[in-house]
Amino acid sequence: MRGFFIFVLWFSYVVNAFAGSSSNLLKTYKKDVFYTVKGLKANKNSLLTFGGLLGFSFFLDKGTRTYVLNHQNTTLKNTADFTNYFGSGYILFPAVTALGTWGFLNNNYKLLEASVTSFESGLTAGLLTIGIKIAVGRKRPYGTDNPFRFKPFKKDTLFHSFPSGHTVMAWSMITPYAVYYKQPLLYLIPLSVNFARVYKNKHWLSDTVMSSGIGLAVGYFFSKRHLNKKIVLLPSKNNLMVGVRF
């Protein structure tokens, strides 16, 4: 999660750069959060289904870990090492920044909007994940063979297994691009991070299931609101401002 803090610092820089328009930006962000909460409440059946899937995954944790540890090989290890980068803040944050900048410089506002939404989604999901990690205090699989070891509010990252920060970042920041461009195949990227975190014995299966739900929900609802309201970053004379395109 260290890369996440680089993300936060960059966010602070952007907000300051907005000068007089920063209040509009923060107001828009607040509405995005409320829209997401409202959207989740309106999809109770989906939440119940996800809750059942998450609960079931807890009982698969130990067996999955044992199976993975007994089926290690060079090809899968190299694959996991590679796909693990797609959940790293050191990769995602600069990549999204570069894509957004490219979109702005080339008047590709669809790419700019998707990147801004990805940025905002990653910030929100990341902050939420940090809070849950600390509050839950689940021990990582490389430190125990018991998936039900919890020590809430421990500072030691050994007890920050639930949920997976890498997986949350991948889902929350890739989902906006999948929604904006209607490309479900992009979800293979965060799924590969799910695989990497379990294969590398950094997280239990249920950690990644929870992370997928958080990241997908935040990324999806933020994207839907921005697309419905056509919220964009508009260039002004001296800076940028949040606006609504008709």
How do residues 186-203 score in pLDDT, each as one tens digit?
999 999 999 999 999 999
What CA–CA distances, in Å, run from 207 to 15, 39, 70, 181? Answer: 32, 23, 20, 28
Other Cβ atoms less than 10 A from the Cβ of 16: the count is 9
Q: pLDDT per residue over 77-131, tens digit each?
A: 999 999 999 999 889 988 998 898 898 889 898 998 999 899 899 989 999 999 9
Sequence spans of domains, the chain: 2-244
pLDDT tops 60 at residue 233: no
CA angle 94, 203, 186 (to 5 degrees): 45
Residue-level length of the chain: 246
pLDDT for res 104: 84
Q: Identify whether the C-beta of residue 131 lies closer than 8 Å to the C-beta of residue 150.
A: no
Residue of 89 and 241 predicted with greater confidence: 89
pLDDT for res 228: 84
List of residues 6+ apart from 22 with CB closer than 8 A: 15, 16
Q: Identify whether the C-beta of residue 89 lies closer than 8 Å to the C-beta of residue 2.
A: yes
Classify 147 as helix, strand or coil.
coil
Other Cβ atoms less than 10 A from the Cβ of 117: the count is 28
pLDDT band at 229 (very low <50, low <70, confident <90, very high): confident
Could you tell me the pTM of the whole model? 0.87
pLDDT tops 80 at residue 234: no
pLDDT tops 90 at residue 184: yes
Q: Identify whether the C-beta of residue 55 lies closer than 8 Å to the C-beta of residue 47.
A: no
Find tokens 């506002």 and name the residue: 109
Classify 152 as helix, strand or coil.
coil
Q: Six-digit token pair at 246?
A: 């008709």
Across the chain, what does the average pLDDT equal? Answer: 86
Distance CA 122, CA 100 (A): 14
